[in-house]
Amino acid sequence: MSLTRFKYLEALSAVTPAYNALLTAGDLITDVFAKLQGLLQRSQKKVILTSNLSGGASTTADVAIQTLTIQGTDSHLQDLFEVEFHGVWTKPLAVGGSSLSLWIKVNGTKEATVTITPTANVNNQGFHYKGLVTVRQIGANGSVMASGNAVLNTTATAATSLHSTDVTPVTVNTTTNWTIQTGFNFSNSNASNNVTVINAKIHQKM
């Protein structure tokens, strides 16, 4: 590429991103940069847990793990977000039964919930939750669908696999900022209840 062309690229004042577009033969250099910008912006939509997070003792309140804010000007049809968190949990057996729930909130609405009610004490056992959030429609009456599944150890050698049963998407105004949040809560208050999350992410898939 000639020096003149390098100077032309350096002189580009701005690049408007193009989404869901593949490179094709005959693309202008401005088209190439627009498509690459769209990919780069998607790759930057993420939150990663940088230190362990613990909570749940003596409360039934929701405990948030992470929140990703999607800008209203940056929502697109078929956007796909991957949600994942891993950790350990402790729960004494409660009279009458009590549970731990893991979930995703779409703009404040709890979805993709999986709930386990152990039948014995659980002490520092591992779990893994994974979910998907998809944008089905955009606009003032946009539509966002969330689903999730989890595997939770109840002992060192026994585990339970659970899947969410949501079938209805959440109505979201995607022209304004909206959020995806992960979290958990216990159904009873016990000082020994605990979840420690050691790895977590919310990440837009390219």
Which residues, listed in sequence order, are joined to residue 89 by a DSSP beta bridge?
Answer: 125, 195
pLDDT for res 11: 61
* Entry pTM: 0.83
Per-10-residue mean pLDDT, the chain, length 206: 52 70 81 71 80 98 97 89 98 92 98 97 98 97 98 97 97 97 98 98 91
Pairing of strands 46-48, 80-91: unpaired
How many residues belong to the chain? 206
Residue 15 tokens, joined: 């690049």
* DSSP per position, 83-150: EEEEEEEEE---TT---EEEEEEETTEEEEEEEE--SS-EEEEEEEEEEEEEEEE-STTEEEEEEEEE
pLDDT for res 116: 98
pLDDT for res 38: 65
pLDDT for res 1: 47
Q: In what order do the strands lie in the sheet with 63-70?
A: 63-70, 178-186, 100-106, 109-116
